């Protein structure tokens, strides 16, 4: 390796783009969140005033914001464990020596991940339809009552969670499958010779060996699920009764519908802080449990 | 060994999961071939009584689908082509060339991976507005011309290039650019394909940013157009299913053709460091 001025020709274009169109806006967002940037400031910058932390204070006493945060936490708290459970279940089955047609099944199970979110949300909106949706038809066939999935404030978020799990589980499934394949086969053979049951082998070999991967998957999935937006935008438009308004949906409306750009920046920053805090908490809990 | 109740349980579970996973996609195709109103029945039909392409004709003739498809193809191609070049060049330099502050800058980039892209959206919108790029193709292309993830992906892979190979070429008097073109790029070919597939799928499927930055109907990408159409045509399920097919089939086909590269990138990208 040698020091070279030519190196800058290789990195400068990418760094310039990332600097100007990512780092600069992130720093500016922090600054903007301390101003009352609104539609008047958009028209004429002389209407802009510094308001210190007042946007944050306003948000923290605003019921719609807390409602959006509550909805998002609900989505994360239920959606992430469910999503990882399905990923782990399918990864374990695919990793089993008994499984057949592995490459085909792996591709099929992964397919929803690469589909376009908006397009598949349109499909699911129809599957969830109260009057002629297939899900209600299937429930009726086994004697259960019809539910107005996307029209009932109690069921709209669970419906979105089911959809999100279907869309996303394949991603973590692939990562967990790679983690399972990295566990040495000898460990299982030794345990089998000692007479360990399948459940015990899972409990004392698979889970501990997989826990670093599970930790990482958990952190990435939580961060991703906090960014819920397109699902409610397409399937429920935040309704019914605001039951599916997420933090990002709230930010989108605050910023690009009402043009309260200062307040929207504060929402974005709060979301970032929350994700950061939850990630730190996850790392702390897992290190206390002795992972890594 | 491959028989008995455990094998039946494992394979039965996998087949049921696969059937449940693929069903909505197959049904999307089936419903897109139904006559208008046919899917609005109870019980919902599984296959069309008389398959028809009318919904596709309607979409392209009256709903502007051709235009949206062209927008999506153009934007995806431009973003993929430009960002792959910039990210590959930078990723290689971070791995194999020396420059002042290299490791500090790389650490800063890695740390910034935790910042959700939405934090930047509001000021980015104002920045692009002042550059006259809001409501134009440029508004989608320009901010996506390089990305931290892409630089990181290429850098991890480029670390494995032997230094002796580069040194030998330098002793022969080759310029850095010709070393990059004739030695580095061929060696990086697999990761370049991976990055291209990732970028292509990500750009095609992206929704929130194009929704914000494009306001003219004529500029809409497929996901933005489909979201808008689905708000207008709440009852036209067959038409919307055809729209969903047009939107998602291209990326599914790209994925199926280049699956190996996609899976590789997924694993490299998630096992950080």
Contacts of A90 in chain B (CB under 8 A): 14, 17
Residues of A in contact with B223 (CB under 8 A): 116-119, 230
Candidates A109, A237, A256; nearest CB to B17? A109
- In the predicted model, is pLDDT for residue A35 greater than 50? yes
A183 Rama sector, left if φ>0, alpha if ψ -120 to 50, beta otherwise? beta
**Residues of A in Cβ contact (< 8 Å) with B263:** 174
Confidence of residue B43 (pLDDT cuts 50, 70, 90): confident
The topology (CATH level 3) of A55-288 is MetI-like fold (1.10.3720)
Compare all CA atoms of chain A with the CA of B92 and give the residue at the minimum distance.
A10
Residue A23 has pLDDT above 80, yes or no: yes
Nearest CA in chain A to B227: A234
Average pLDDT over residues A160-170: 98
Would you state the pLDDT for residue B273?
33
Size of interface A-B (CB pairs under 8 A): 286
- Domain boundary assignment for chain A: 55-288
Domain residue spans of chain B? 53-270
pLDDT in tens, A188-220: 999 989 988 889 999 999 999 999 999 999 999
Contacts of A89 in chain B (CB under 8 A): 13, 17
Please determine, for residue B271, whether its predicted confidence score (pLDDT) is greater than 70: no
Chain A residues within an 8 Å CB radius of B262? 114
Probe site for chain A from B18, B39, B118 (most A CB atoms < 10 A): B118
Residues of A in contact with B6 (CB under 8 A): 98
What's the pLDDT tens digit per position in B61-112?
999 999 999 999 999 999 999 999 999 999 999 999 999 999 999 999 999 9
What average pLDDT does this structure show over A75-104? 96
Q: Do B93 and A175 touch (CB under 8 A)?
A: no
Rounded to the nearest angstrom, the minimum Cα separation between A287 and chain B is 18
A43 contact partners, CB below 8 Å, separation of at least 6: none
Q: What percent of chain B has pLDDT over 70?
A: 97
Determine the pLDDT at residue A224. Answer: 95
Model confidence at B1: pLDDT above 60: no
* Mean pLDDT computed over every residue of chain B: 93
DSSP secondary structure letter of residue A255: I
Residue B4 pLDDT grade (very low, low, confident, very high; cuts 50, 70, 90): confident
The pLDDT score that the predictor gives to residue B40 is 85
Given A1, A116, A129, which is nearest B251 (Cβ)?
Answer: A116
Q: What is the per-residue pLDDT for B269?
A: 61
Asked if A108 and B125 come within 8 Å (Cβ–Cβ), the reply is no
- Give the pLDDT confidence of A250-275 residue by residue, as tens digits: 999 999 999 999 999 999 999 999 99
Q: Closest-CA residue in chain A for B39?
A: A132
> CB distance A118–B2 less than 8 Å?
no
pLDDT of residue A46: 87
Q: Which pLDDT score is estimated for A4?
A: 67
Whether A107 and B256 lie within 8 Å, measured CB to CB: yes
Q: Where are the extended beta strands (E) located within chain A?
A: none
Are the C-beta atoms of residues B217 and B64 closer than 8 Å to each other? yes
Q: Which residues pair with A35 in a beta bridge?
A: A50
Which pLDDT band holds residue A288 (cuts at 50, 70, 90)?
confident
- A82 close to B217: Cβ distance less than 8 angstroms: no
The percentage of residues in chain A with a pLDDT greater than 90, rounded to a whole number, is 83
Predicted confidence band of residue B272 (pLDDT cuts 50, 70, 90): very low
Question: Which residue has tokens 């699956």?
Answer: B259
- The reported pLDDT for the residue numbered A1 is 46
**CB contact (8 A) between residue B127 and residue A252:** no
Non-local (6+) Cβ contacts of A173 within 8 A are: A86, A87, A88, A90, A91, A94, A109, A110
For residues A268 and A249, is the Cβ–Cβ distance under 8 A? no
Tell me which chain B residues have a C-beta less than 8 angstroms from the C-beta of A119: 28, 222-223, 226, 243-245, 247-248
Asked if the model's pLDDT at residue A157 lies above 70, the reply is yes
- Which residue from A118, A132, A223 is facing B44, i.e. has the nearest CB? A132
B40 contacts in A (CB within 8 Å)?
A: 131-132
Mean pLDDT in residue range A148-163: 96
pLDDT at B73: 98
Return d(Cα A195, Cα A209) in angstroms, integer: 20
Which of A38, A93, A115, A270 to substitute to test the interface with B, most B CBs within 10 Å? A115
CATH label, B53-270, candidates 1.10.10.10, 1.10.3720.10, 1.10.645.10, 1.10.8.420: 1.10.3720.10
Closest residue to A14, CB basis, from B13, B90, B207: B90
- Rounded CA-CA distance A265/A22 in Å is 14
Asked whether the beta carbons of residue A111 and residue B22 sit closer than 8 angstroms, the reply is yes
Please state, rounded to an integer, the average pLDDT across all residues of chain A: 93
Cα–Cα distance measured from residue A71 to residue A226, given in angstroms and rounded to the nearest whole number = 10
Check A14 against B223: CB less than 8 A apart. Answer: no
Average pLDDT over residues B119-148: 97
In B, which residues are within 8 Å of A272 by CB distance? 115-116, 119
A94 contacts on B by Cβ (under 8 Å):
14
A240: preceding bond cis by omega (within 30 degrees): yes
Compute the nearest-CA separation of A216 from chain B (Å): 8
Sorting pLDDT into bands at 50, 70 and 90, what band is B232? confident
């Amino acid at each position: 390796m040698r020091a070279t001025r030519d190196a800058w020709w290789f990195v400068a274009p990418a760094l310039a783009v990332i600097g100007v169109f990512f780092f600069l806006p992130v720093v500016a967002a922090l600054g903007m969140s301390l101003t009352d940037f609104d539609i008047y400031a958009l028209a004429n910058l002389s209407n802009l005033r510094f308001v210190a932390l007042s946007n944050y204070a306003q948000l923290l006493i605003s019921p719609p914001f807390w409602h959006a945060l509550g909805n998002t936490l609900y989505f994360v708290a239920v959606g992430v464990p469910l999503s990882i459970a399905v990923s782990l279940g399918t990864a374990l089955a695919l990793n089993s020596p008994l499984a057949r047609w592995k490459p085909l099944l792996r591709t099929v199970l992964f397919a929803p991940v690469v589909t376009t979110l908006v397009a598949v949300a349109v499909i699911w909106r129809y599957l969830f339809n109260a009057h002629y949706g297939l899900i209600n038809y299937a429930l009726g066939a086994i004697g259960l009552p019809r539910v107005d999935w996307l029209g009932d404030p109690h069921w709209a978020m669970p419906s979105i969670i089911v959809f999100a799990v279907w869309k996303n589980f394949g991603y973590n499934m692939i990562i967990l499958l790679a983690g399972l394949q990295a566990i040495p086969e000898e460990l299982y053979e030794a345990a089998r010779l000692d007479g360990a049951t399948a459940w015990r082998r899972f409990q004392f070999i698979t889970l501990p060996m997989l826990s670093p991967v599970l930790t990482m998957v958990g952190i990435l999935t939580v961060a991703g699920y906090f960014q819920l937006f397109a699902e409610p935008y397409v399937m429920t438009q935040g309704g019914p009764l605001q039951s599916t308004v997420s933090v990002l949906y709230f930010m989108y409306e605050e910023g690009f519908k009402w043009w309260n750009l200062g307040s929207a920046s504060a929402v974005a920053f709060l979301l970032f802080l929350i994700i950061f805090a939850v990630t730190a908490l996850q790392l702390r809990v897992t290190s206390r449990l002795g992972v890594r | 060994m491959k028989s008995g109740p455990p094998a039946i349980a494992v394979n039965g579970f996998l087949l049921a999961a696969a059937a449940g996973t693929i069903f909505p996609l197959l049904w999307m195709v089936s419903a897109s071939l139904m006559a208008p109103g046919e899917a609005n029945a109870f019980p919902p039909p599984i296959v069309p009584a008389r398959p028809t392409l009318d919904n596709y004709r309607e979409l392209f003739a009256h709903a502007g689908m051709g235009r949206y498809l062209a927008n999506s193809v153009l934007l995806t191609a431009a973003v993929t082509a430009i960002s792959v070049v910039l990210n590959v060049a930078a990723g290689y330099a971070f791995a194999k060339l020396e420059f002042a502050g290299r490791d500090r800058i790389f650490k800063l980039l890695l740390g910034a991976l935790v910042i959700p892209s939405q934090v930047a959206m509001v000021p980015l919108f104002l920045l692009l507005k002042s550059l006259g790029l809001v409501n134009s193709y440029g508004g989608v292309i320009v901010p996506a011309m390089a990305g931290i993830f892409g630089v990181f992906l290429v850098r991890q892979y480029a670390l494995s290039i032997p230094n002796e190979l580069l040194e030998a070429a330098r002793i022969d008097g080759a310029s850095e650019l010709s070393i990059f073109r004739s030695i580095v790029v061929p060696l990086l070919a697999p990761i370049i394909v991976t990055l291209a597939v990732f970028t292509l799928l990500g750009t095609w499927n992206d929704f929130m940013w194009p929704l914000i930055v494009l306001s003219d109907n004529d500029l809409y990408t497929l996901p933005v157009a489909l979201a808008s159409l689905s708000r207008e045509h709440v009852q036209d399920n067959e038409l919307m299913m055809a729209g969903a097919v047009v939107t998602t089939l291209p990326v599914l086909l790209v994925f199926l053709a280049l699956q190996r590269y996609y899976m590789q990138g997924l694993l490299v990208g998630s096992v950080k460091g």
